[in-house]
Amino acid sequence: MRPAVCTFALTNKRETIMADRIKKSYKFSKRFYDDALTQSKWWSRLYFKLLWGGVDDNEIADRILGYIPDDFSGRLLDVPVGTAVFTAEKYTRLTQADITCVDYSRDMLEQAETRFSKAGINNIKTMQGDVGALPFEDGTFDIVLCMNGLHVFPDKSKAYAEIHRTLKTGGEVLACFYIAGEKKTADWLARTVMSRMGWFTPPFDSADDVRRRLEANYNILDLQVEGAMISFRARKK
């Protein structure tokens, strides 16, 4: 599988600096990224229990992906796809879907491509690109999946706008990510470690911020806050 490469322009110096930091951070973390997210090691389970309020990313991912029926036959955008550690198994069942996976990190994208290839998935297009400048026409997708992404994106408003623009009327956005104001240890970690390393990018939304962003353009079908994580399913008006 050979990915298409998307080129794009960042609009200011801050975005360029943050984008470079994100690239470097995910290249550095690719050897332990999956273990951390899936809590497959003792240290990752302790990390989530002490700092994130006992959130189980596996359960959240299962719930989010469960909103997509296995016989879904529309167009799905996964941004950022990351390493596809949560989605590859689900995608083996979405044989009728037209799936496009986008990530800013070339290192993450290569790991996802390897997973898809090993699983024999042949209905996925991969693309390196920026959620703030998606190279798709208005109303292209029936579903936009955005797992563990919105706390990373340098310009949250651009990300929300592009997700909304590329989603069809009546289409659904499914997402989960870190939010501020729910757990002090998580806020400290996000501010002093994750942001400095480039894994997260401030400013961060609170649960109320997310709800306000959604209510203007979507019907909220489900929204849950667990520890310092929010997950939602929303349908474009």
The model's pLDDT over 132-145, given as tens digits with 9 standing for 90+, comes to: 999 999 999 999 99
Bridge-based pairing state of the strands 218-226 and 229-236: antiparallel
Write down the mean pLDDT value for the chain: 84
pTM: 0.83
Query: Do residues 138 and 165 lie in contact, with contact meaning Cβ atoms separated by under 8 Å?
Result: yes
CA dihedral 113, 118, 121, 122 (to 10 degrees): 70
Tokens of 40: 């497959």
Catalogue all structural domains in the chain, each as residue range(s) with its CATH number: 4-236 (3.40.50.150)
- The secondary structure of residue 123, as a DSSP letter, is S
pLDDT digits (tens, 9 = 90+) for 173-194: 999 999 999 999 889 989 998 8
Query: Do residues 104 and 128 lie in contact, with contact meaning Cβ atoms separated by under 8 Å?
Result: yes
Q: How many helical (H) and strand (E) elements, i.e. helices and strands, does the chain have? A: 10, 8
Q: Please provide the size of the chain in residues.
A: 237
Is the pLDDT score of 172 beyond 50?
Answer: yes
Q: Higher confidence at residue 73 or residue 29?
A: 73
Q: Which amino acid is at 60?
A: I
